[in-house]
Chains A and B, each alone.
Chain A
Amino acid sequence: MPQATYLEAIRQGLWEEMESDPTVFCIGEDIGIYGGAFKVTDGFVHHFGPQRVIDTPIAESAIVGAAFGAALTGMRPVAEFQFMDFIGCAFNQIVNMVAKSHYRWGAPAPLVLRGPCGGGVHGGPFHSQNPEMYFVHTPGMKVVAPSTPADAKGLIKSAVRDNNPVLFLEHKFLYRRIKDEVPEGDYTVPIGKARLHRPGRDLSIITYAAMVHTAQEAAELLAKEGIEVEILDLRTLLPLDREAIAQTVKKTNKVILLHEDTRTGGLAGELAAIINEEAFDDLDGPIVRITSLDTPVPFSPPLEHFFLPKVEDVVREARKLHAY
């Protein structure tokens, strides 16, 4: 099987969708000749032409609004946020115009809103955020956050083909750090389905995006101590795969919820509620949350290191929970 980085996998998925469906087009800041701040659309403008790879003014509401307008004529726009932190600039357009349109007036909004999120690259408070929960709390949206190249490619293709607005979160820390096998040919990964990243017996870590790799490192260390950790990669944050969540809890009876997003109002709270509803009787210990701090993402490396969840945090909490 060929290998690709997380970044290349997304590029392949987008390229293939644009090749096969002429209604797909990209719109965003500096995505044309420059190829995007992270080069996701590098070379696209030469192949697909400037009509389908559209550079815009620095105006996120205009990007989302124009993408939605084009979608109303039957197009499938893929709008890029240069950094996901800037999605706040288009919040009203997404939450009130786009996400509610099918419910209110029966107009589907088949757009993809994609871009880099996440910390660990010393990007500071405005180039490191994880904005998923604003949109997980928005009925009408779908929210996707892959952790592997194979999932990233399969999910971007599903997102493009979906009839609903899909927020596609690309973790920038993974762009060129993760390289792995990517299936050949045209394949998709379904939105709304979690993936068992690592089977285990003693406790489950439910997580997504870059933290899947943190959990994996911790699991390898814990395995040496005889603690077998199961890792469930959610992949889609809205709608959540309740069945897979319940299944892993019923199997290991102990669960850690891990995410890079901040703690209060983070996805872990929602996951805990689902576990309470679906598998309360199966729990043999308290539900443990490991998240970043309830602060903005700090800039200086020691501060950011302190802010983010780390392998040692996971190892420590897993030992405690295992012994409970």
Chain B
Amino acid sequence: MATKSKSAKSAKPTTRKTSANGRTSSGKSAPIKASVNGRPAPLAKAPAIYVNQFGIPDWRLEHPEFTVREVTSGPEVHYEISGKLNTPVPPLRESKYMNKDQHLALYRWMLMNRRMEVALENLYKQSKVVGGVYFGLGQEACSCASAFALGKDDWFAPMIRNQGAQLVRGFHARDIMMQYMAKAGSPTHGKDGTSHYGDIEKRQMVAPISMLGDLLPVMAGVSLGARMQGRELACLTWIGDGGQSTGVSYEGINFAAVRKLGLVLIIESNLWAYSTPTEYQVNVKDLANRAIGYGMPGVIIDGTDACQVYDATYEAVERAHRGEGPTLIEAKLMRMKGHAIHDAAAYVPKEMHEFWRTRDCIDRFQKYLIEKKWLTPAQDAELMAGVEKEIDAEREFAENSPMPEGHTAAEGVYCDGTCHAIKPKYAMPKKARRSEGKLKETEAAIHFK
């Protein structure tokens, strides 16, 4: 009992380093080290992996078959779901790469993610939030476990629902709360809200914009810039089944594939793009199939299984570190709230919501840890109490922060050289002097004269 309690305690991250997973920064709590030379030996014997008709591996332990269609009945048009909805909830797939402490640390991040969003909802109801609130309910495993699989120097760019990833990578809940509350102390000092902030200095987070897909070429470019400075880094970002419809998504993924850049792309197939179901977004069952068209590896995972999310991301990150190019991971799951807080998601068929509710990523992970005897109900309660306490303190800090002064709106459009110095983050690129000599005048024919 005493040892178990100690494990649970040691799983609680005490510092806010980006190496919260202990993956690459210290070997103490992580016997498995990220390595470019070889894979760590698998910790567990995994069930066989299903391969879909296009040869894409599908790690899921269930393959739900259902379809959402627009149906006209009487005066109304609504969505109806058909298929097998009463299938049993599958077990989690054992992680090949995470040890016990990492499981427990990850579990805590997922709790933090959910509890923070509850706090945000309460702040909204108290009219303390400017604008709306976006939730990642049901997607905490996908946000947290993927970010948890990154190495210390890797980059990431969250989408609106990946708030947990920001916590895992070292931001405070107060940062996100202050963004929503438009406070002076927020990372953008009130210039932008929600997850629209970043940090190129310490935490390697690229700020998203509201337009979907534009981050993909940017993350490919981060990998390109790092490569010129002698580093092969993983650049993780997420996109929805809706967001990947944009043309720039194709441009970004294709460029990463052509140049074998370290893009780690998780398509969160969360079944609803605002109010439009996947069936009216794309005409393929598995978006991971598109990896074939891009000429890169693709894999399908259960996005509500934290172990699958971690392992798939881990392998993609390793690939990126070896300079072998991008990976497309399709995580199947469902967005369990509306697009934003104003949206009650009344368009979602009730039985569909119920199917996914029973597959809640945190409930399943909790049950898994308890069954493995890595966590007792008492330790679980203690962990939750600690999370609540921390979130309360973060909320209090955020609430007490001042609003920005109006005149600061005029500041910061340009970098005048005094605010930022531009210098290579990793190393000065080496000059490849391939030919002697000077610039010669060009005499070649040109397109228009």
Contacts and interface: CB of A to CB of B under 8 A. Distances in A.
A56 interface: yes
A112 B333 CA distance: 41
A65 B442 contact: no
A106 B198 CA distance: 8
Contacts of B209: 96-97, 100
Interface stretch (A31-39, A206-214, A262-270): A31-39
Given A42-B444, A49-B432, A61 B225 contact: no
B111 interface: no
B322 interface: no
B258 A57 contact: yes
A75 interface: yes
B254 interface: yes
A188 interface: no
A74 interface: yes
B424 interface: yes
A128 B433 CA distance: 36
Contacts of B437: 47
Given A104-B192, A176-B449, A73 B229 contact: yes
A172 B225 contact: no
Nearest to B198: A105
B425 A140 contact: no
Nearest to A38: B446
A76 B229 CA distance: 12
Given A51-B432, A163-B422, A93 B197 contact: no
A65 B248 contact: yes
Interface in B207-236: 207, 209-211, 214-226, 228-229, 235
Contact of A38 (B216, B225, B441, B447): B447
B196 A25 contact: no
Given A108-B422, A163-B422, A69 B207 contact: no
Contacts of A23: 422-424, 428-429
Nearest to A24: B429
B204 to A, nearest CB: 9
A37 B444 CA distance: 10
Interface string A95-116: 0110011111111101000000
B252 interface: yes
B45 interface: no
A69 B228 contact: no
Interface centre among A7, A92, A96, A106 (most CB of B within 10 A): A106
Given A70-B225, A96-B211, A97-B209, A163 B420 contact: yes
A46 interface: yes
A71 interface: yes
Nearest to B432: A49
B155 to A, nearest CB: 8
Interface residues of A, number: 67
A163 B188 CA distance: 19
Contact of A92 (B197, B211, B235, B442): B211
B214 A164 contact: no
Given A43-B442, A62-B220, A72-B225, A103 B191 contact: yes
B256 to A, nearest CB: 9
Contacts of A92: 211, 214, 248
A267 to B, nearest CB: 19
Given A57-B255, A73-B425, A15 B217 contact: no
Interface in B396-449: 412-417, 419-420, 422-426, 428-435, 437, 439-442, 444, 446-449
Contacts of A102: 412-415, 420
A140 B412 CA distance: 9
A74 B423 contact: yes
A168 interface: no
Contact of B433 (A47, A65, A75): A47
13 contacts: A12-B439, A37-B447, A47-B435, A52-B429, A61-B247, A65-B220, A65-B251, A72-B218, A75-B229, A97-B209, A102-B420, A104-B191, A106-B412
Given A61-B251, A71-B221, 19 more contacts: A35-B444, A48-B434, A52-B432, A66-B220, A72-B222, A72-B225, A73-B424, A74-B425, A76-B422, A77-B221, A97-B211, A101-B207, A105-B188, A105-B196, A105-B198, A106-B420, A107-B200, A107-B207, A110-B422
Interface of A: 7-8, 11-12, 15, 22-23, 25, 35, 37-39, 42-43, 46-49, 51-52, 54, 56-57, 59, 61-77, 92-93, 96-97, 100-108, 110, 121-123, 127, 139-140, 142, 163-164, 172, 175-176
